[in-house]
Structure 1
């Protein structure tokens, strides 16, 4: 089925734009190409390599025992029952989006607050942000972006932080994999709602929580995953990957380095079997134990958080303060050690697709 770029969305409490832009014209051409393909082989002579929107959607389906990630057909079947959230920036949202989607105020959902135990998610600010776009705690939600990158997973994590009661889904393939209705242009404001959070502190950890456990006796030390590039994890002298604002470089003792892009293959999640091999086989993480993921900040680690949850790791948490907080802590730094001597880097082969270029629908014969 080709995309429908019908402007307007009377079912929602807002209106889509008029759709008279280059993106809408391009979608019209895609519909024409897809229609010609559906007619039959005779109409596509010399065009055996053509790819239709339906083909792209099929490539992004999700099967098997995978949590959270769903394919385009799932959304098509459940569109009336879920709130669709767009995690991209405003410019891309205005150009084209899934029909009826609401844009996530990304700066707000990454908000943090300082406590005696360390930096933690600012649940009040995050709750207000979702309430402002009409999301209620009981809503089933689907999040999408240009791919399944860290903006999407941070949005899913932010909902989990609030103790969201509804189901949380991420669209495999992002907007590129969707072959349903598309909206464009400006919109009126959605009626806000009151989001009353019930913070789920079991999905994040603090600096002090880690300090009590890092280097503890065997059985008490959580599995640690550093999601930064290997050069940052290793504290490689002179590397451009090192943050000049950090007082110390390296990683938390016992952490294994697995760059987060290994979770993504283009616009799709990495094949689940590979994720299990990567994290359980090669990194030897215990799927029944506690696993803590961290990076330099609080966005990229959520890709690993959601990927591990997707393949049924039971207790995965994010250190929201990140390595930046740990490396620059004041006071007794012996309580917050940084390590470089012992290092374990697991090689990954991931790539993140960011440009929604529509794929290859050309027919050159």
Structure 2
């Protein structure tokens, strides 16, 4: 595996004299000693914590481990066992990345992996720009990849989706609990020594849908046709007059006809994914989505919907797609708006409970992961 790099950051952090990233001895040593003292097993760590009345890094890591029949999400123990076999990508902003990160992690510019291109049918992921961004940090199509952030928020899931949209052949995983759950080696500063590679995308067009694809299926959603989920906050979904949740850049407010509203924050409990049984109840029982059918998710942009995209895939939904143009494209379409109607009267909102831990300070999205 090539050394790690963060091309394009333009700021040199605490790099060592040989050009490699620094390993912050106090923090990593403290974590290492605590991990060793906690014992070789999770049971031993839990027992020691109960006796001492303290929580060790090993306890936190164990709390974020993922069990059961869940795809894509893994815990810190899995990463510790497989660290040498995966490329680790950091989805946070450059400042947080330089301050502290999993040792050897690489950061992909977030603007690049959210880029879109215009087609006659509507906006779609810009596969070439996204592929170039991954290639710049040395990711190859057959690499097994793990993505982490401050939590399992939408920056993490957008990075995972960007790989999926490229037709990435390697596995794609997200770290449950984010950086705070990791009790292994840490690094700081910038890295400049990864050799860029050419990432040849094989776009997986089944990962997304276009504006016209949706328009052709109006009247069938959540009935005879695909499932359709609006992941925005309920006030935005309902087009509530005067609500701060309404995007002032949109000409129209409401939702796509037939969509069910399930706010994406219900996927997250602090820094972890919501308990899988609750997620199954939320999406299969309450939202009445068919795990064997096609389900499309959308929001105002193309970031937050990817949380629901990855969550549904993790709990066994077979065909989940993102409307990459988002409600912003649909609401502001020029020309025949009758073909792209917005609805407010017929509304189905499924209440969710969730909270998102971690903040990278970007301020660009409702969750930074």
Q: Same fold (TM over 0.5)?
A: yes
CA contact (8 A) 1:213 1:220 kept: no
CA distances 1:304-335 after superposition (whole Å, capped 9, x unpaired):
00000000101100000000100111111111
| DSSP 3-state at the match of 1:345 | strand
Classify 1:13/1:68 alpha carbon distance in 2 versus 1 (closer, same or farther; 3 Å).
Answer: closer
CA contact (8 A) 2:239 2:344 kept: yes
Deviation, structure 1 residue 144 = 0.6
User: For residue 256 of structure 1, what is the aligned residue in structure 2?
Assistant: 260
Which residue of 235, 244, 249 maps to 1:245? 249
**Match status 1:313 vs 2:313:** no
**Match status 1:194 vs 2:198:** yes
Matches within 5 A, 1:192-341: 192-216=196-220, 220-341=224-345
- Cα distance between partner residues in 1 of 2:193 and 2:327: 38
Deviation, structure 1 residue 25 = 3.8
- Cα distance between partner residues in 1 of 2:349 and 2:97: 37
Deviation, structure 1 residue 48 = 3.0
Deviation, structure 1 residue 251 = 0.4
Gaps of 5+ in 1: 1-9, 357-365
CA RMSD of aligned residues (A): 2.3
Deviation >4 Å, runs of 4+: 26-41, 44-47, 217-220
- Cα distance between partner residues in 2 of 1:298 and 1:157: 10
**Match status 1:107 vs 2:111:** yes
- Cα distance between partner residues in 2 of 1:270 and 1:251: 25
User: For residue 3 of structure 1, what is the aligned residue in structure 2?
Assistant: none
Count of aligned pairs between the two proteins? 342
User: For residue 12 of structure 1, what is the aligned residue in structure 2?
Assistant: 3
- Cα distance between partner residues in 1 of 2:50 and 2:260: 51
Deviation, structure 1 residue 18 = 3.1
Deviation, structure 1 residue 189 = 3.5
Which residue of 125, 131, 139 maps to 2:129? 125
Gaps of 5+ in 2: 6-18, 361-369
User: For residue 11 of structure 2, what is the aligned residue in structure 1?
Assistant: none
- Cα distance between partner residues in 1 of 2:239 and 2:344: 7
Which residue of 141, 148, 151 maps to 1:147? 151
CA contact (8 A) 2:3 2:193 kept: no
CA distances 1:247-292 after superposition (whole Å, capped 9, x unpaired):
1100011111111111011111111101100000000001111100
Bigger Cα displacement from structure 2, 282-291 vs 24-33: 24-33
| DSSP 3-state at the match of 1:135 | coil
- Cα distance between partner residues in 2 of 1:37 and 1:220: 54
Calculate the TM-score normalised by the size of structure 1: 0.88
Classify 1:271/1:217 alpha carbon distance in 2 versus 1 (closer, same or farther; 3 Å).
Answer: closer
